[in-house]
Amino acid sequence: MKNRVFGYLLQCLSISVLFQVADSAQGKYAQMLFHDLLQDYSNALRPVEDTDKALNVTLQITLSQIKDMDERNQILTAYLWIRQTWYDAYLKWDKDDYDGLDSIRIPSNLVWRPDIVLYNKADDEYSGPVDTNVVLRYDGQITWDSPAITKSSCVVDVSYFPFDNQQCNLTFGSWTYNGNQIDIDMGMDSGDLSDFVENVEWECHGMPAAKNVITYGCCSDPYPDITYTLLLKRRSSFYIFNLLIPCVMISFLAPLGFYLPADSGEKVSLGVTVLLALTVFQLMVAESMPPSESVPLIGKYYIATMTMITASTALTIFIMNIHHCGAEAKPVPDWAKVFILDYMSKIFFVYEVGENCTTSQKEKEKEVKLQMNENVNAKVQGEASTCHNKYNVSAVDNGHPNGDLKEERSPENINLYMCTCAHHDKITKNIEYIANCFREQKATCAKGAEWKKVAKVMDRFFMWVFFIMVFLMSISIIR
């Protein structure tokens, strides 16, 4: 048993020694290969045997993260993984001569690299690929994987903000070599999004790629490039809850200013306060948007709402002037009585105290006038009856129990009768004067009440009109 265990340990030790010898052999051959390859190698020239042929470079882009989208400055900041693959004619070897070593990793600055840059970069500093190692294969294929944080210019269209879609281009090409010297090919038909980290503000719906060959005005040679189009859609939940919903709620306060009683003195103050609140929200949106001629959708909504509130405040001032029309004002025109007081008041359910939908204002006025005339007649008849009763009492006191004035008309009784009748005439004139004053006062009050009711009906009319306008505008922007 002990012999078996000893044999097993000896075998394991032999295998580990062989691996160490193999690793040391690999390292020895790698050092030898590195020295042999770079002994007479120059990384300054394009590594082709025939200078008339173009060197093919395969480009592949992997989008890892969208770091920032600056709409105001129109700059997209993205984190990319850039893979470039090409063949170097002077970095080949026979792997059998180096113990089967088929690839090595060396610093990228030791070999020739294509000067492929981002054409539409918008960074003040150099933000090219990091100097990572390259993988060199025995057949001369070089693969260079490097991360890069790029800042590229992007034409941002905010016409439908915050429900907008953006297309940002990333154009890569050689800066000094033309298409006859370096030809760029696409490694994939689109950018790789398998390792994309979701952004809190933007959704990525694809990254298609396209190859372009452009002849610039400076040179007659063609310059190929590969353009990756990043398709982005904004996540609008943040802006709906922080900009749209508060604006809609504030907008619905503007029509309520018409429902506020005119005697409260706060109708104009409410409209001005709502207008200032919307101005603050509009300034917040304007600070984040680029100063362009295309006004964003939410900005149009703010402007329309502010215009509506300004109109409602102006109408409120006009209606308050109608409400405070006094005795000096002209009577309500007949057409206004028929159209506003009779029809519109019933449509918008505007009634005075003691008035309902079955009793019109004209019938109520007739009843008041009839009652007033009855009261005046009752007072006059009461005074006449009092005068007649006093004269009959005087006749009884003079010995005429039946009050027969035809049998005896003494001078004293005639004087008493004349005095009583004269007093009655004065009382009648005073009562008629008081009744006339009362009629004039009632007419003045009725005229002011009519103007107040006209103002109230117009308030109710414009309240529903502006409610409908706010509702339609809110639905249109959300859809």
Residue-wise pLDDT tens digits, 157-173: 888 888 889 999 999 99
**3-state DSSP call for residue 140?**
coil
Residue 1 has pLDDT above 80, yes or no: no
User: Looking at the structure, do residues 158 and 224 belong to the same domain, yes or no?
Assistant: yes
* 8 Å CB contact between 163 and 116: no
User: Looking at the structure, do residues 124 and 225 belong to the same domain, yes or no?
Assistant: yes
> Would 85 be classed as within a structural domain?
yes
User: Looking at the structure, do residues 221 and 276 belong to the same domain, yes or no?
Assistant: no
Q: How many folded domains does the chain comprise?
A: 2
Task: Provide the β-strand partners of residue 213.
Answer: 224
- Pick from 234, 269, 300: which residue ends a domain? 234
> Would 159 be classed as within a structural domain?
yes
Residue 249 lies in domain:
239-349+469-478
Averaged pLDDT, 443-447: 59
The dihedral over CA atoms of 22, 24, 28, 30, expressed in degrees to the nearest 10, equals: 70
Of 282, 319, 332, nearest in space to 462 by CA: 319
User: Looking at the structure, do residues 252 and 286 belong to the same domain, yes or no?
Assistant: yes
Task: Provide the β-strand partners of residue 100.
Answer: none
* 8 Å CB contact between 317 and 286: no
Between CA 473 and CA 479, with CA 478 as vertex, the angle to 5 degrees is 100
> Would 365 be classed as within a structural domain?
no
- Pick from 203, 234, 265: which residue ends a domain? 234
Averaged pLDDT, 246-259: 84
pLDDT tens, 103-145? 999 999 999 999 999 999 987 766 566 788 999 999 999 999 9
User: Looking at the structure, do residues 188 and 255 belong to the same domain, yes or no?
Assistant: no
> Would 447 be classed as within a structural domain?
no
**3-state DSSP call for residue 124?**
coil
Mean pLDDT taken over the chain: 77
User: Looking at the structure, do residues 186 and 293 belong to the same domain, yes or no?
Assistant: no
- Please give the span between the terminal C-alpha atoms of the chain, in angstroms, as a whole number: 84
| Distance of alpha carbon 353 from alpha carbon 234, whole angstroms | 56
Residue type at position 1: M
The stretches of 252-296 forming alpha helices (DSSP H) are 253-259, 267-288
Residue 374 has pLDDT above 70, yes or no: no
Cis? peptide before 401, omega within 30° of 0: no
Averaged pLDDT, 327-348: 72
Predicted structure pTM score: 0.68
Helix (H) or strand (E) holding 378: helix 361-397
User: Looking at the structure, do residues 251 and 112 belong to the same domain, yes or no?
Assistant: no
Structure tokens given for 188: 């994939």
The answer to which of 60-69, 150-159, 333-342 has the lowest mean pLDDT is 333-342
Looking up residue 67, the CATH number of its domain turns out to be 2.70.170.10
Q: Can you state the angle between helices 297-323 and 411-478, rounded to 10 degrees?
A: 180
Radius of gyration (C-alpha) of the chain in whole angstroms: 50
